[in-house]
Structure 1
Amino acid sequence: MFWIICAALAGVVAIAIAAPLLRRQRAGAEPAAAFDLRVYRDQLREVERDLERGVIDPADAERLRVEIGRKVLAADRALERETSARRAPGGIIAIAVLLVLIGGAIALYVDMGAPERSDEPITRRIANAQAIYDQRPTQAEAETVAPKPKPPENDPEYDQYVALVDKLRAAVAQNPDDPRGLELLAQHERGLGNFVAAKEAQARLIRIRGDQASEQDWSRLTDLTVEAAGGLITAEGENAVARTLALNPHSPQARYYAGLLQIQSGRPDRAFPLWAELLEEGPPDAPWLQPIRYIISDLAWFAGNPDYTPPEAAGAANGAMATPGMPALPGPDADAMAAAGEMTPEARQQMIDGMVKGLEDRLATQGGSPEEWARLIGALAVKGDAAHAQEILTEARSKFAADPKALAVIDGAAGQAGLQ
Structure 2
Amino acid sequence: MTFWILIFFIAAVVSGFLGFVLLRGRSQGEPAAAYDLRVYREQLACVDRDLARGVIGDEDAERVRTEISRRILAADAQMQGEHSGTGPSRAVTVITLVSVGAFLIAGAMLMYRQMGAVGFPDMPLAERIALATEFHANRPSQTAAEAAAPPAQPSALTEEYQTLLTQLRDAVGQRRDDLQGHILLAQHETNVGNFKAGYEAQTRVIELSGDAASAQNYADLAEMMILAAGGYVSPEAEQALAQALERNPDLGPARYYMGQMLAQTGRPDLAYRLWVDIVRTSPADAPWVQAIRAQLDELAFRAGVFNAPNLSPSAPGPTQADVEAAAEMTPEERQEMIRGMVNNLSDRLATEGGSPQDWARLIAALGVLGEAGRAIAIRDEAETVFADDPEALRLIEEAALRAGIAK
TM tier relative to shorter chain = 0.5 to 0.7
CA distance in 2, matches of 1:175, 1:116: 60
Query: CA 1:150–1:209 in 2, change beyond 3 Å: closer, same or farther?
Result: closer
1:354-408 CA-partner distances (Å, limit 9, x unpaired): xxxxxx9xxx9xxxxxxxx9963525999xxxxxxxxx989973xx6xxx53354
Q: 1:256 corresponds to which residue?
A: 256
Query: CA 1:206–1:120 in 2, change beyond 3 Å: closer, same or farther?
Result: same
CA distance in 2, matches of 1:138, 1:114: 28
Q: Is the 8 A contact 2:233 2:261 kept in 1?
A: yes
Q: 2:19 corresponds to which residue?
A: 14
Q: 2:155 corresponds to which residue?
A: 151
1:3-33 CA-partner distances (Å, limit 9, x unpaired): 999865532422443567899xxxxxxxxxx
Q: Does 1:282 align with 2:261?
A: no
Q: 2:373 corresponds to which residue?
A: 405
Pairs within 5 Å for 1:266-305: 266-305=266-305
Unaligned runs of 5+ in 2: 1-6, 29-83, 323-332, 347-364, 380-395
State the TM-score, normalized to the length of structure 2.
Answer: 0.57
1:14 partner letter: G
Q: 2:49 corresponds to which residue?
A: none
CA distance in 1, matches of 2:340, 2:105: 57
How far is the alpha carbon of 1:184 from its aligned partner?
1.1
CA distance in 1, matches of 2:159, 2:178: 26
Q: 1:137 corresponds to which residue?
A: 140
State the TM-score, normalized to the length of structure 1.
Answer: 0.56
2:308 partner letter: Y
CA distance in 2, matches of 1:174, 1:274: 43
How far is the alpha carbon of 1:262 from its aligned partner?
0.7
Q: 2:105 corresponds to which residue?
A: 106
Q: 2:340 corresponds to which residue?
A: 376
SS in 2 for 1:306: coil
CA distance in 1, matches of 2:136, 2:180: 36
Count of equivalent residues: 289
Q: Is the 8 A contact 2:285 2:315 kept in 1?
A: no
CA distance in 2, matches of 1:161, 1:204: 23
How far is the alpha carbon of 1:137 from its aligned partner?
2.6
Q: Is the 8 A contact 1:21 1:94 kept in 2?
A: no
Query: CA 1:227–1:312 in 2, change beyond 3 Å: closer, same or farther?
Result: same
CA distance in 2, matches of 1:114, 1:97: 31
Q: Is the 8 A contact 2:186 2:202 kept in 1?
A: yes
Query: CA 1:5–1:172 in 2, change beyond 3 Å: closer, same or farther?
Result: closer
Q: Is the 8 A contact 2:367 2:375 kept in 1?
A: no
Q: 2:386 corresponds to which residue?
A: none
SS in 1 for 2:232: coil
Q: 2:306 corresponds to which residue?
A: 306
Q: Is the 8 A contact 2:206 2:213 kept in 1?
A: yes
Pairs within 5 Å for 1:154-193: 158-193=158-193
Pairs within 5 Å for 1:68-107: 92=91, 95-96=94-95, 98-103=97-102, 105-106=104-105
CA distance in 2, matches of 1:395, 1:248: 21
CA distance in 2, matches of 1:8, 1:374: 55
Q: 1:238 corresponds to which residue?
A: 238
Q: 2:223 corresponds to which residue?
A: 223
Q: 2:131 corresponds to which residue?
A: 128
CA distance in 2, matches of 1:117, 1:142: 27
Query: CA 1:5–1:271 in 2, change beyond 3 Å: closer, same or farther?
Result: closer
CA distance in 2, matches of 1:18, 1:419: 78
1:236-295 CA-partner distances (Å, limit 9, x unpaired): 110100111111222222111111111111212211221121111122222211122233
Query: CA 1:9–1:101 in 2, change beyond 3 Å: closer, same or farther?
Result: closer
Q: 2:214 corresponds to which residue?
A: 214
CA distance in 1, matches of 2:367, 2:261: 27
Q: Is the 8 A contact 1:377 1:393 kept in 2?
A: no
How far is the alpha carbon of 1:171 from its aligned partner?
0.8
CA distance in 2, matches of 1:374, 1:234: 25
What is the identity percentage for the equivalent residue pairs of Structure 1 and Structure 2? Answer: 33
Query: CA 1:419–1:396 in 2, change beyond 3 Å: closer, same or farther?
Result: closer
